Amino acid sequence: MRVLIFDPFHGAAGDMIVGALLDCGADRGQVIRAMTSVVGEPVVSTVTRCGIKAISLKTRATPAHRTLNEILVRCEQADAPVEVVSMAKRVFARIGAAEERVHGSHTHFHEVGADDAVADVIGACTALHSLGVDGVAVLPITMGRGTSKGAHGTYPVPAPATVYIFEGTNIATRVGGEEEELCTPTGAALLAEFVTLQEEDLGSYEIKAVGYGAGTSDPQNTPNVLRAMLIETAPVLLQDSVVVLETNVDDVSGEVIANAITRFMDAGARDATAIPCIMKKGRPGYRISVICTEDKSADFAELMARELGTLGIRCTPAVHRFIADRTTEEVEVTFHGHHRRIPVKFGWLGGSVYTVKAEFEPARTWAADLDVPVRVILQAVAEAGWQSVRKKQGGAKDEK
């Protein structure tokens, strides 16, 4: 996947986010055009912050206090894709909800209701959209500390609205750094809207681009910048946790075992198997295994006891299971002049299909209707599935 990582080690603000994304390769023309359409043409320049080159952005906006509805109307007037406008409106909805929790019902935004915030939000959403990433992760955010003066007087840092915006987002934060506001409500709302992944989900990756967005001040000891990194993750298997239930039986017929396995699968087991084994005193038997989720393990243990008559069931909890991503699609299959749409399961690794398998029951039913061996139909469906994969890959190349 192409993923964007924000590293707000010195906080985040709207202009810093736009600058970092531009430095990462976002479409400058699109961003400037979108921002100009809501406020005026911004000034974009390269500056240094404590020795680090970064993109600085100034909006030329004049002071203004606007209602949330006025802000949403200005967003709708932006020269930007529909997806960008919708995202920008969601960002301001986050800010509005947070300010209402702080102040109660109110008419106007204050620090975040000015036109420069509208331009920054439209610019940041446009920049992210132009990068076309598959996901966004946000590293721990340094919020600042102390107090700051605003429209309502002296407030603690981080600002109350900023704290509410991060509530429930799973974005890690820390109060620290200089005695000033390092993360603004606008910056917080943008990152909260953008984030889709956790850092631990990324695994290993290759850094493709790095960008720095400059803050307004230039302290001597710490670079006042927001870092963004455009990365490509290595192909990995997904992972989840399951429970393995097992029991040995030597006094149950094959018919009962076959029926039990059907019951287990119908009840939602991830898998169920019977393996021949030699039990104590040399008696032949079967090891029955059921794989299920942890929350269903007690139900399946009871079902195993009832179906098999066993007195003891072993439980191996929290087994980590690596699984490939999978999709199921109906594929048009032609066999000796006959046509039918059959569900096909596609397995994915690293964005590419590596296995194609027909759903058995629909294939078996068609084989019975045609009076042919099911293995022949399975082969025909698999070939049709691979043909659909090659056709899609060819279409993707043509689009590029």
The domains of the chain, with CATH numbers, are 2-233 (no CATH), 238-323 (3.30.70.1380), 325-399 (3.10.20.300)
- What pLDDT was estimated at residue 112? 53
User: What is the rounded CA–CA span in Å between residue 8 and residue 42?
Assistant: 23
Is the C-alpha dihedral spanning 355, 359, 360, 365 positive or negative?
negative
CB 279, CB 247: distance < 8 Å: no
Tens digit of each residue's pLDDT (9 = 90 or more) over 97-156: 898 888 777 645 555 557 889 999 999 999 999 999 989 999 999 999 888 776 666 778
- What pLDDT was estimated at residue 397? 46
Q: CA separation (Å) from 212 to 18, 135, 399?
A: 9, 19, 32
User: What is the rounded CA–CA span in Å between residue 131 and residue 28?
Assistant: 11
Q: CA separation (Å) from 112 to 118, 189, 201, 382, 385?
A: 8, 11, 32, 56, 52
Largest Cα span, the chain: 90
Q: What six digits make up the tokens of 83?
A: 């997806």
Tell me the chain's radius of gyration from C-alpha atoms.
29
3-state secondary structure of 285: strand
CB 71, CB 109: distance < 8 Å: yes
- What pLDDT was estimated at residue 399? 46
CB 11, CB 215: distance < 8 Å: yes
- What pLDDT was estimated at residue 113? 54
Stated as kind and residue range, the H or E segment containing 247 is: strand 238-249
CB 226, CB 55: distance < 8 Å: no
Look-up: residue for tokens 């022949």?
Answer: 376
User: What is the rounded CA–CA span in Å between residue 328 and residue 344?
Assistant: 5
CB neighbour list of residue 4: distance below 8 Å, 6 or more residues apart: 21, 24, 128, 131, 133, 135, 136, 137, 194, 228, 229, 230, 231
> Is the link from the previous residue into 158 a cis peptide, with omega within 30 of 0?
yes
Tens digit of each residue's pLDDT (9 = 90 or more) over 213-262: 999 999 888 999 999 999 998 765 556 678 899 999 988 888 999 999 99
Segments of the chain with pLDDT less than 70 = 106-113, 150-153, 235-240, 318-324, 350-351, 393-400
- What pLDDT was estimated at residue 238? 59
